[in-house]
């Protein structure tokens, strides 16, 4: 069983994935399964994954057989394990607990070579429908307190399989990144009486030079303090802390803005490696007047080095204003 361990001074958590216990000879283990071999996520290869959790499939077809257009399966090498709800929290000088949670894969298409921005609008909507389904299902399960949905594209960004997919990891604790955001947002709210993300949208639209695209319910922009060249934030205009609270019309608009934004990014940088991450409210904070769910798109064009590790300060060689201008002006 994997183990969750807390750094005693900063409170940051790590997962020690002991099952995979890698020895020195296992590194570098960056080989990809993309060339050669059989893709376990392709149509017809359903038996190569653990039994499916759920799938959107044609009537009359059966689980773990073709006929699906979105398929959710357990991760074969889970970072957190869902076979036990027992955390068995231990304290000595340090604090640790069982690596209880869940780790799932959302296969975004039966087609191997379809990247996110290439899906037709209906398929895009189905992907985010699956995100919402899994978010709701896992948030309802004890002892889960946070559900992280993310997507890695390209080997440099940590993708080990090429077939389009996103991943879901559910944790029994509130991650530090989210805890820090909640704390900062709450303190902004105490000072000014408004949600800082709602204010940010208003400010970005007033200034305009970091905007990329927008529609009725969403806005995409390069954040003021971008850590990475071409970093992108997508925020819903309506105040909503919890991704699970997304209604069907928002889901429709979300799929459109993600497609447009990713088309622009892909066209500007010729399919860059990237990570896409959801930030949303943890259990107990879903109605917070100061928090606001969002997507972050992080192109992996620069390398995190000693200065970043030591300080948390990122050096970004492309201003968000110039990145946004490129993206805004890129025809799709």
Return the residues of window 151-210 that contact a copy of itself according to CB under 8 A: 151-152, 155-159, 167, 169, 171, 175-178, 180-181, 184-185, 188, 196-197, 199-200, 203
Site for a copy of itself in 218-237 (CB under 8 A): 223-227, 229-230
Considering 165, 203, 279, 292, which one is annotated as catalytic?
165
Under DSSP, the state recorded for 81 is: B
β partners of residue 74: 104
Site for a copy of itself in 286-325 (CB under 8 A): 296, 298, 301, 303-307, 309-320, 322
Size of the site for a copy of itself (CB under 8 A): 93
β partners of residue 57: 68
3-class SS of residue 18: helix
Q: Which is nearer to a copy of itself, 35 or 311 (CB)?
A: 311
How do beta strands 54-57 and 211-214 pair? unpaired
Mark the segment that binds a copy of itself (CB under 8 A) among 25-33, 38-46, 51-59, 131-139.
25-33
CA dist., res. 325 & res. 161, Å (int): 32
Backbone φ and ψ for 331, nearest 5 degrees, come out as -75, 140
165 catalytically annotated:
yes
What is the side-by-side order of every strand in the sheet holding 294-299? Answer: 54-57, 68-74, 102-107, 165-171, 146-153, 274-279, 294-299, 232-236, 218-221, 211-214
Q: Which tokens sit at 69?
A: 């257009």
For the bound state, the minimum distance from the C-beta of residue 109 to a copy of itself, rounded and expressed in Å, comes to: 18
Q: Which is nearer to a copy of itself, 52 or 231 (CB)?
A: 231
Does 146 participate in binding a copy of itself (rule CB under 8 A)?
yes
For the bound state, the minimum distance from the C-beta of residue 28 to a copy of itself, rounded and expressed in Å, comes to: 6
Active-site residue list: 165
């Amino acid at each position: 069983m994997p183990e969750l361990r807390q750094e005693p001074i900063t409170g940051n958590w790590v997962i020690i994935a002991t099952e995979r216990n890698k020895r020195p000879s296992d590194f570098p283990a960056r080989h990809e399964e993309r060339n050669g071999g059989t893709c376990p996520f392709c149509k017809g290869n359903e038996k190569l994954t653990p039994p499916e959790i759920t799938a959107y499939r044609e009537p009359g077809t059966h689980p773990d057989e073709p006929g699906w257009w979105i398929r959710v399966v357990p991760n074969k090498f889970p970072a957190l394990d869902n076979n036990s709800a027992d955390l068995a929290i231990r304290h000595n000088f340090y604090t640790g607990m069982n690596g209880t949670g869940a780790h799932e894969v959302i296969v975004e298409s039966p087609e191997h070579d379809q990247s996110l921005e290439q899906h037709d609008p209906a398929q895009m909507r189905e992907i985010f429908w699956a995100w919402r389904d899994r978010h709701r299902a896992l948030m309802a399960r004890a002892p889960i307190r946070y559900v992280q949905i993310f997507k890695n594209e390209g080997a440099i960004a940590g993708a080990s399989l090429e077939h389009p997919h996103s991943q879901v990891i559910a944790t029994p604790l509130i991650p530090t990144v989210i805890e820090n955001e909640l704390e900062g947002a709450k303190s902004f709210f105490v000072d000014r009486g408004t949600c800082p993300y709602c204010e940010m949208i208003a400010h970005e639209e007033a200034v305009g030079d970091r905007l990329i695209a927008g529609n009725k319910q969403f806005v995409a922009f390069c954040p003021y303090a971008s850590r990475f060249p071409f970093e992108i934030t997508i925020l819903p205009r309506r105040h909503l802390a919890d991704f699970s609270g997304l209604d069907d019309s928002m889901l429709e608009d979300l799929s459109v803005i993600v497609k447009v934004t990713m088309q622009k990014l892909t066209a500007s940088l010729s399919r860059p490696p990237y990570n896409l991450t959801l930030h949303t409210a943890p259990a107990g904070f879903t109605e917070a007047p100061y928090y606001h769910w969002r997507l972050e798109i992080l192109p992996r064009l620069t390398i995190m080095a000693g200065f970043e590790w030591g300080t948390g300060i990122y050096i970004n060689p492309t201003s968000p204003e110039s990145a946004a201008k490129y993206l805004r002006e890129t025809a799709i």
